[in-house]
Structure 1
Amino acid sequence: MKRVAYFLAVMFCFTAFAPGAMAEPVKKDKEKTELSAEDEARLEEMKSRVEEIKSMDFSEMSKDERKEVRDELRGMKKEAKAMGQGIYLSVGAIIIILLILILVT
């Protein structure tokens, strides 16, 4: 039992510190993905709507109106992230995937 515990402790240390040691230096210039003309037009619409919302006076709005504006902003944020077309994995998800791969083999 101790042998398995030591092995797991060593494996967790390797998985925790190895990615940082093998990582490439951070590039300041990120590659931008090309958007279609339709996506660019939608993005400009969203930017103009956000500027319009920023200029609003929220003190005169009712609670329901403020909630609608907040929900609209959240929806636009999700849509903008979807345009980036990136796949993001959390550290927890990566650890779970590695554990499953280890247990399966």
Structure 2
Amino acid sequence: MKKATLYLLVFVMSMSFIPQTALGASVESTLLPNGDPKEVPVEVKAQLDRLNEIKAMDKSKMTAAEKKALRKEVKAIKTSLRDGNGGIYLSVGAIIIIILLLILLL
């Protein structure tokens, strides 16, 4: 019994380090959908064009309020693009808690 507990603990600890490698992807690669560029929906293409337009702007002559508004707009666009995938995301802590609850209940 102690051996099984030890193996389970080692398994949980080893699984907690694996998702950290997935965080190394760049932001641009997560914004673009997989597949052919011709398959990109119109609204996604418009949002990506707006992001590129904001990136190309000369922000040196803008006021602080204008820059803040642009930052909020960029965050909103990135959030909408990220949420458009429809996936379910679980943190490492949530996975560990779920596994511990399953062990205690079963």
State TM-score, norm by structure 1.
Answer: 0.67
Aligned to 1:12: 9
Which residue is 1:41 aligned to?
42
Structure 1 alignment gaps of length 5 or more: 21-30
Q: Which residue of 2 aligns with 1:102?
A: 103
2:83 alignment partner in structure 1: 82
More relative contact order in 1 or in 2 (CA 8 Å, sep 6+)? 2
1:93 aligns with 2:94: yes
Instruction: Supply the distance in 2 between the matched residues of 1:74 and 1:82 (Cα, whole angstroms).
Output: 12
Pairs within 5 Å for 1:50-69? 50-69=51-70
Residue 11 of structure 1 deviates from its aligned partner by: 2.0
**CA offsets, 1:26-48, max 9 Å, x none?**
xxxxx948xxx8x8111011011
Matched residue of 1:58: which SS? coil
Aligned CA-pair RMSD? 3.0
The number of equivalent residue pairs is: 88
Letter in 2 for 1:97: I
The structure whose Rg is larger is 1
- Indicate the larger mover: 82-91 or 67-76: 82-91
Residue 70 of structure 1 corresponds to 71
Q: Distance in 1 between matches of 2:34 and 2:5?
A: 40
Q: Can you list the C-alpha shifts for 1:19-69, whole angstroms capped at 9, x where unaligned?
A: 97xxxxxxxxxx948xxx8x8111011011112101111111111111110
